[in-house]
Structure 1
Amino acid sequence: MIVNCSDPPNSNYSVGSSSSKSIIETVNGSHHFTIRGYSLAKGMGPSKYISSDTFSIGGHEWAIYFYPDGKNPEDLSMYVSVFIALASDATDVRALFELTLLDQSGKGKHKVHSHFDRALESGPYTLKYKGSMWGYKRFFRRPALETSDFLKDDCLSMHCSVGVVRNRVEGPKLNSVPIPPSDMGQNLKYLLDAELGCDIVFQVGGESFRAHKLILAARSPVFRAQFFGLVGDPNNDKVELEDVEPSVFKALLEFVYSDNLPNFHETVLSTSTSFEIMMQHLLAAADRFGLDRLKQLCEAKLCEGVSADTVATTLSLAEQHHCQQLKTICLKFAATNLGVVMQSEGFRHLEQSCPSLLSELLETVASVDEKSNIGSRKKRSGSSIFGLDLAADGGVAESVNPNSRRLRRQV
């Protein structure tokens, strides 16, 4: 809209004209949430939920809440409930949502509830305050879920998308430098994306990445020594890196600038590399450049995704990079599933690269067998599958089962 305050409508001369544009749009993002050990979650009771990690979309924090026994006590645990919750302090956040329960048979028959692909007669959903949720109390009948292709190897996988509605006003552009959106004010990632003021170029496997020495030096002691240390060269504007994949280094840079663990799922979908292998490489890179927080986040993700195919290589990685928590979990898993693990390619690599770990693995096998024999003598039933709860402080997590027996799970 153009408003001329001083001239008649038919005048050809305009003084003090101005223009602006109001754009109502959505800031979109997504999160992938996997629940391993679904059967261990049953019996928590109605209104008790399992939460995903919080994730940031549109300047707000979000979380997925999964209720294995349903949210409503009156449903008598016949349904599972799924919700997306606003996890940060805010009021009247308007957003679109999509919840997808993934079909793990490969047929692509996912269960999808979405705002994005239907008419919005009453507009986007409004979350009034922190803790407000959107979702379904009767998301799926539990008996049907437990015999469906959505549950495989005692594992559920779901995906959520959030589109936060915002009003963006555009005025005259003073130059060609992109203006960062307001929701990026708490991190520096827009500087990386815009390559604004970059003073260093990394050559990684035939690809180039531009960055800022000061930001890298502030986050990494390795970069600090390289650029500003006693033997560093502050005038160097190009660095060639070997033994790191471009996709891994790109993820490392994203963490340095945003302090968030990168979302590898899009990369995994476009390549043949598994999520666990990508996370292994990122952990190694984090250790190489002294990014302790990124290393801890990668370790926690790998703890959640231990499998017979990857446990041997993950165990070798944990030993090499001094990840004690990950090493302990890998040893326990390998000891419990030794026959299958010994058939994997990673186990042969483990024998060659870390033969000292084999003796520790045998000790763990003996310990597991001893505990199993003690349990048999006490006439206590058990399962070969064990659940892992990662406490926030890396210590011992406790839960109470339906029979009021307190379980202690060492991680």
Structure 2
Amino acid sequence: MLPSTSWVTAEGSRRREKQPEVSCSMSVSCTVEGSHRYVLAGYSQAKGMGVGKFLSSEVFSVGGLRWAIHFYPDGLGPEDNGGYVSLFVTLVTGEPDCRALFDLAMTDQRGKVRYKRDTISSRFEPVNLKGNGWSWGSIRFIKKAALERSNFLQNDSLFFECAISVVKTRTVTPIQWSIPVPTSDLGRSLGELLRTEMGSDIVFVVAGESFKAHKLILAARSPVFRAQFFGGIGDPNLDKVDVEEIEPPVFKAMLQFIYSDGFPDVQELAMSIPMCNPTIFLRHLLAAADRYWLDRLKRFCELKLSEEITEDTVADNLALAERHRCPGLKAAGLEFIDRCLKGGCSCLSVRS
């Protein structure tokens, strides 16, 4: 049995070894900038609308907040500004207690010459916003008489610009260390298995050309291959399959996609088939993908065919879409025909 003094000493030592927990964080502030140009056409019709009434720009967004420029042709209030126009920028919707910097000015038609009051420029010190409906600007922006004599009024139009910088602050916990994690190379590794034929256990014969592959990988990617090799009527000992009605380059492209999950180089593969072009190759590849239930590959082909529809390809694409249940390709083809007919195209011919 240990003496009590030894036990106390051990406890004291254990308490001294316990280190305090230390944590840290930091706040990061940055600005999100944006601007809006507002044109007021028909100033002569706007003046006289009444004190306190304003014309508004379209609502625009900066820093996740929504703003509008308000111009008062007869001033904001009747007390001391009846002879002035007023100009404000208004927070239409946003968060309370956020901050922003502003620069609100009137410009000439080209935006080169600017007129502004010092009271409506806050480019160096953020202004605290009080919530929706908060406005910032000048009640006495410029005398109406001076405005109407100035070069800023051109063709009965006025031009305003408002630049806004919204201050964003967030609290973050600094990363103490960084360990780079390589991107996945699974597709490249499986592609090497296909290229080297290492461990292959099945041979496909396509128009006299042989392709070696791996049944487990094929079964994992295609329900058709899964049923063929491991289903109730499948043969797991099968080591050779004759494939009909598919060109060898098309079958090769399909295998490349199965292994790498990357879309193959259609341009290069199409050149290996006589009288073939990328569009024709894509149609054959889509048919093969549909045959083996490779939905992702089928959608890739459908997308690329939809992006390159012409008057020469739309009929064949629509027939392909009907045959292989491609609603996106069908919709794109019908939309193309509709645009052609509305545009008066006379050379469009669609086979039934």
Q: TM-score range by the shorter chain?
A: 0.3 to 0.5
What TM-score does the superposition give when structure 1 sets the normalisation length? 0.38
Larger Rg: 2
Q: Which has the higher contact order (CA 8 A, sep 6+)?
A: 2
